[in-house]
Structure 1
Amino acid sequence: MNPSAASGDLARDAFAVLLPAFATLDCHDAALPLMERGCTSVLIGETRAEYLARRMSAERLAAETEEVFSGAIAHLREASPDLIVAVDQEPIGIRRLQGLAPFLAEDEEIYSLDDATIERRALEMASVARRLGVTMFLAPILDVVTGRNDWLSGRALDASPEEIGRIGAAYISGVQAAGIAAVAKHFPGFSELARDPAMYDVALDTPRETLIANALPFRTAISAGVAGIMPGPAPVAALDPDDAACTSRAVIDLLRGEFAFGGLVVTDDLDAPATLRDRPLAEVAVTALAAGADLLLVVGGDHLHEVVDSILEAVADGRLPEDRLRDAARRVRAFAAAPRAVSRNGKY
Structure 2
Amino acid sequence: MTLGPLMVDLEGTTMESEERQMLCNPLVGGVILFSRNYESPEQIAALCSEIHELRTPHLLIGVDHEGGPVQRFREGFTRLPSVSRLGDIYDINHKKGLTLAETSGWLMASELRAVGIDFSFAPVLDLGRGISSVMKGRTFHKDPEVVAQLAHAYLAGMQRAGMAATGKHFPGHGSIEADSHVAMPVDERRYEDIFAEDVLPFERMIHYGLAAIMPAHVIYSQVDSQPAGFSAFWLQEVLRKRLEFSGVIFSDDLSMAAAESAGSYSDRARAALQAGCDVALVCNNRAAAEEVLSGLGEGFIDDPVSQLRRVRMHGRHPVTRAELHQNPKWVRAVHSVTDYDESPEIDLPI
Query: TM-score normalised to the size of structure 2?
Result: 0.79
CA contact (8 A) 1:146 1:192 kept: yes
Alignment correspondent of 1:32:
20
CA contact (8 A) 1:84 1:135 kept: yes
Tell me whether 1:200 sits opposite 2:183 in the alignment. yes
| Greater displacement, 126-135 / 86-95 | 86-95
For residue 307 of structure 2, the aligned residue among 305, 317, 329 is: 329
Letter paired with 1:25: T
Alignment correspondent of 1:95:
71
Q: CA separation in 1, counterparts of 2:249 and 2:21?
A: 25
CA contact (8 A) 1:92 1:157 kept: no
Q: How does 1:48-67 map to 2 (within 5 A)?
A: 64-67=39-42
What is the CA distance between 1:327 and its match in structure 2?
3.5
Q: CA separation in 1, counterparts of 2:104 and 2:127?
A: 23
Tell me whether 1:160 sits opposite 2:137 in the alignment. no
What is the CA distance between 1:229 and its match in structure 2?
0.4
Tell me whether 1:84 sits opposite 2:60 in the alignment. yes
Alignment correspondent of 1:4:
none
What is the CA distance between 1:215 and its match in structure 2?
1.2
CA deviation vs aligned residue, 1:18-67 (integer Å, no higher than 9, x gap): 111346433444531222222231000246xxxxxxxxxxxx9xx72211
Q: Aligned with 1:174: secondary structure?
A: helix
What is the CA distance between 1:108 and its match in structure 2?
5.3
Q: Aligned with 1:271: secondary structure?
A: coil
CA contact (8 A) 1:104 1:122 kept: no
CA deviation vs aligned residue, 1:243-296 (integer Å, no higher than 9, x gap): 221121111011111111110001101111112216111111111111110011
Q: Aligned with 2:213: secondary structure?
A: strand
Q: CA separation in 1, counterparts of 2:18 and 2:171?
A: 33
Tell me whether 1:312 sits opposite 2:297 in the alignment. yes
Alignment correspondent of 1:170:
153
Q: CA separation in 2, counterparts of 1:35 and 1:107?
A: 33
What is the number of residues matched between the two proteins?
305
Q: CA separation in 2, counterparts of 1:23 and 1:192?
A: 34
Q: CA separation in 2, counterparts of 1:32 and 1:161?
A: 43
Q: CA separation in 2, counterparts of 1:161 and 1:279?
A: 34
What is the CA distance between 1:172 and its match in structure 2?
1.1
What is the CA distance between 1:138 and its match in structure 2?
0.4
Q: Percent identity?
A: 25
Q: Aligned with 1:238: secondary structure?
A: coil
| Greater displacement, 76-85 / 205-214 | 76-85
Letter paired with 1:43: I
| Greater displacement, 25-34 / 152-161 | 25-34
Q: CA separation in 2, counterparts of 1:224 and 1:28?
A: 40
Q: How large is the RMSD of aligned CA atoms in angstroms?
A: 2.5
Alignment correspondent of 1:42:
31
Letter paired with 1:123: W
Query: TM-score normalised to the size of structure 1?
Result: 0.79
Q: How does 1:281-300 map to 2 (within 5 A)?
A: 281-299=265-283
Letter paired with 2:160: A
For residue 120 of structure 1, the aligned residue among 86, 94, 103 is: 103
Tell me, which stretches of 5 or more residues in structure 2 are unaligned?
A: 90-95, 318-350
Q: CA separation in 2, counterparts of 1:287 and 1:106?
A: 33
Tell me, which stretches of 5 or more residues in structure 1 are unaligned?
A: 1-11, 48-59, 316-321, 342-348
CA contact (8 A) 2:185 2:258 kept: yes
Q: CA separation in 1, counterparts of 2:264 and 2:315?
A: 32
What is the CA distance between 1:86 and its match in structure 2?
0.4
What is the CA distance between 1:104 and its match in structure 2?
4.7
